[in-house]
Amino acid sequence: MKNVWRPTLTTKEALAVCGSLSNPSKMPGHGYALPAQRCRLGSLLELIPKTVCHYCYALRGRYLFPAVKAAMEKRFSSLSDPRWVEAVSTLIYRSGDRHFRWHDSGDIQSLEHLRKIIAVSWKLPRVKFWLPTREYQTIEAYRRMCGIIPPNLCVRYSAHVIDAPPPLQYGLPVSTVSSYPEKAPAGTHRCRAAKHGNVCGRCRACWDRQVKIINFPLKWPSSTFRITGREVGK
């Protein structure tokens, strides 16, 4: 019989190590949010109009509240803690979630960070994990070293540029963002959360490795922006 992992830390001990899980309102379970300002690639892309990061929701709104920023910084500084895997696994295990999203804000910081995320996935085979990322190079480095992606982890590469073709060349699931529905690539699963109160409801497409391309509508900021030559009002 396979050894089943059980937490060795109390919830209080785990919280002291890795901080709290995040609670993205759209999702069916918890997440783990890091400061978007710490994104290695995203913080550069954010400076470039037409990139998805330029419109990143995690650089705005409630993500800028001092308490939220402090919680994300605490998580960020905990990544090097040797008990991080045990602590995060403990919190997810105790949450009872069956679906977990990495990084409703932020992204992978290093190969070591990726290895830790993968270790959490191996510990919790009954949980489905979704890891959206722009850090293709880190994932590809891991794969070149014959690293295995656990079956319960859906690594999904995010296209960097709005209306750009999906980055399918790596053979992993992907997501794209379109400024208008007609610009969504053919054959994609289009996210309809915005039409249903901005929640996933029963949809779990992002966690499903068989769903190769997911398309998100661009969330226009409240002010008027110009992206494709068409001006869009409030």
Min separation Cβ 191 and ligand SF4, Å: 3
Sign of the Cα pseudo-torsion (147, 140, 116, 126, in order): negative
Q: In terms of CB distance, is 143 or 204 closer to ligand SF4?
A: 204
Q: How far is it between the farthest Cα atoms of the chain?
A: 61
β-strand partners of 157: 133, 174
Q: In terms of CB distance, is 79 or 193 closer to ligand SF4?
A: 193
Contact 167, 134 (CB under 8 A): no
Contact 178, 218 (CB under 8 A): yes
What is d(CA 87, CA 94) in angstroms, rounded to the nearest whole number? 11
Min separation Cβ 67 and ligand SF4, Å: 25
Min separation Cβ 211 and ligand SF4, Å: 8
What is d(CA 193, CA 197) in angstroms, rounded to the nearest whole number? 7
Min separation Cβ 192 and ligand SF4, Å: 6
Min separation Cβ 200 and ligand SF4, Å: 3
Q: In terms of CB distance, is 26 or 40 closer to ligand SF4?
A: 26
Min separation Cβ 56 and ligand SF4, Å: 16
Contact 108, 136 (CB under 8 A): no
Q: In terms of CB distance, is 204 or 212 closer to ligand SF4?
A: 204
Q: In terms of CB distance, is 124 or 205 closer to ligand SF4?
A: 205
Q: Give the residue ranges of DSSP H helices in the chain.
A: 11-18, 42-45, 66-78, 84-95, 111-123, 136-144
Does an H or E element contain 1, and which? none
Q: In terms of CB distance, is 19 or 31 closer to ligand SF4?
A: 31
Site residues for ligand SF4 per CB under 6 A: 191, 193, 200, 203-206, 214
Instruction: Name residues whose C-beta falls within 8 Å of residue 127's C-beta, 6 or more positions apart in sequence.
Output: 92, 97, 98, 99, 100, 121, 152
Min separation Cβ 104 and ligand SF4, Å: 10
Q: In terms of CB distance, is 168 or 199 closer to ligand SF4?
A: 199
Contact 5, 123 (CB under 8 A): yes
